[in-house]
């Protein structure tokens, strides 16, 4: 469907020319003669894709039209039309959210080129919103697979704490889906549109992890040929997931504690602190309480992270989920390999995995993901 455009200008000849020009290009166009009429039109119609407005009119200014548009829709693009003497005001309008401005008199092809770019931005914004909504929906329920009471309790706890900004500690054995829990927390929270940044604390060498977390300035150490912002700043406004947080060396535990307390980071080699707004979600497969008692993990950091505790249950505590997981991964990896599952094969695979409930040995979904991927690669294509 073609874009909807509203033209606001007190010059009748300019309104008529723009209406003819834009309709000839295939756009749906409405025209109004001033600020008051623009407010009425914006309030009575669905949000426009683009508003073209004169900056100076007898009953007000384009800045007032801009405010009225923003009150109705944050995504509508705004194009200012201005005389040379009001260019400074047009630049101010761009600071307040207008896409761009064109000066009178303008050439039609220049106006159309600017208009097309504005609408491209509108389309990108809409696409991003759709993708974010799909991701949010995906992580709200679909990726936490299982119908057991343990999984129902886990989903319920995530919903209850997702809106908080408090730190969360996710514990559980290796392979139980701790990162999935962290992603579900993020994508069900008000921070869902902001970054979700992951760091495996055990995968980064000890001499580099401080720079990875907090960034560094140019020349801070040998090889620092450019400044780096660090993951805390990269996650600003969103969530930083620290996987295997128990692997952090003691000196870094002290610095992480300070960041959690002050909400500020200091890049390696720098003297100025930078404020950050980040929710920290940490995970570990270790018995952290025992490590606190042994003195290998700081007690004050533990309590700062352990404000909210979420335990990812192993499969042996929810054996009724094994057939569900088996079916999910069977279909997933068969699709990746371009194989079609017949009902009998699917039932046979799920039934075989269900037999594992009797042994009490499975730990987490990752095991079944690996198993099914291997089985699909080696499966007889004849079924």
Contact status, residue 207 vs residue 160, Cβ threshold 8 Å: no
Domain 4-130 has CATH 3.40.50.2300: yes
Q: What is the mean pLDDT of residues 176-196?
A: 91
The overall average pLDDT reported for the chain is: 84
Residues 6+ apart with CB under 8 A from 99: 77, 78, 79, 114, 117, 118, 121
Cα(80)–Cα(96) distance, integer angstroms:
12
Nearest alpha carbon to residue 197 among 235, 167, 223: 235
DSSP 210-231: HHHHH-B-TTSSTT--S-B--H
Cα(76)–Cα(97) distance, integer angstroms:
10
Cα(219)–Cα(235) distance, integer angstroms:
24
Cα separation values, 209 from 52, 101, 225, 315, 371, Å: 50, 46, 17, 33, 33
Comparison of pLDDT for 331 and 171, the residue scoring more:
171
Domain 143-313 has CATH 3.90.650.10: no
Each domain of the chain, given as residue ranges in start order, spans 4-130, 143-313, 316-378
Share of the chain above pLDDT 90, in %: 55
Cα(87)–Cα(22) distance, integer angstroms:
24
How many other β-carbons are positioned within 10 Å of the β-carbon of residue 296? 14
Cα(280)–Cα(292) distance, integer angstroms:
20
Contact status, residue 121 vs residue 165, Cβ threshold 8 Å: no
Contact status, residue 309 vs residue 130, Cβ threshold 8 Å: no
Q: What is the mean pLDDT of residues 293-307?
A: 95
pLDDT, position 303: 95
Cα(239)–Cα(225) distance, integer angstroms:
28
Maximum alpha-carbon separation in the chain = 83
pLDDT digits (tens, 9 = 90+) for 217-259: 988 888 888 888 899 999 999 999 999 999 999 999 999 999 9
**Does the predicted model carry a pTM greater than 0.75?**
no
pLDDT, position 365: 57
Contact status, residue 314 vs residue 364, Cβ threshold 8 Å: yes
Burial class (CB in 10 A: 0-12, 13-18, 19+), 12: exposed
CATH topology match: 4-130 vs 143-313: yes
């Amino acid at each position: 469907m073609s874009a909807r455009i509203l033209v606001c200008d007190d010059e009748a000849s300019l309104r008529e020319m723009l209406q003819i020009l834009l309709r000839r290009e295939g756009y749906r166009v409405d025209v109004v003669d001033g600020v008051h009429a623009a407010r009425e039109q914006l309030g009575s119609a669905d949000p426009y894709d683009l508003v073209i407005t004169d900056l100076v009119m007898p009953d007000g200014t384009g800045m007032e039209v801009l405010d009225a548009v923003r009150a109705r829709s944050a995504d509508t693009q705004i194009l200012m039309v201005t005389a040379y003497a009001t260019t400074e005001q047009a630049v101010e309008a761009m600071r307040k959210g207008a896409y761009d401005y064109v000066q009178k008199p303008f050439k039609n092809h220049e106006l159309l080129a600017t208009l097309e770019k504005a609408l491209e931005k509108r389309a990108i914004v809409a696409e991003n919103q759709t993708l974010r909504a799909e991701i949010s929906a995906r992580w709200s329920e679909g990726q936490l697979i299982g119908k057991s009471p343990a999984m129902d309790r886990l989903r319920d706890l995530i919903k209850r704490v997702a809106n908080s900004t408090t730190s969360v500690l996710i514990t559980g054995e290796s392979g139980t889906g701790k990162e999935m829990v962290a992603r579900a927390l993020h994508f069900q929270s008000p921070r869902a549109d902001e970054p979700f940044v992951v760091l495996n604390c055990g995968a980064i060498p000890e001499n580099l992890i401080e720079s990875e977390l907090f960034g560094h300035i140019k020349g801070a150490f040998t090889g620092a040929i450019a400044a780096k912002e660090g993951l805390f700043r990269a996650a600003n406004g969103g969530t930083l997931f620290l996987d295997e947080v128990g692997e952090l060396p003691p000196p870094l535990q002290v610095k992480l504690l300070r960041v959690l307390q002050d909400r500020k980071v200091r890049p390696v080699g720098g003297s100025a602190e930078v404020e950050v707004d980040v929710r920290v979600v940490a995970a570990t497969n270790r018995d952290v309480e025992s490590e606190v008692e042994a003195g290998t993990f700081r007690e004050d950091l533990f309590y700062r992270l352990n404000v909210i505790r979420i335990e990812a249950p192993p499969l042996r505590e929810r054996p009724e989920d094994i057939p569900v997981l088996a079916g999910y991964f069977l279909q997933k990896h068969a699709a990746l390999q371009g194989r079609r599952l017949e009902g009998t094969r699917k039932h046979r695979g799920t039934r075989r995995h269900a037999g594992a409930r009797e042994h009490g040995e499975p730990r987490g979904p990752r095991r079944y993901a690996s198993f099914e991927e291997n089985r699909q690669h080696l499966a007889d294509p004849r079924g």
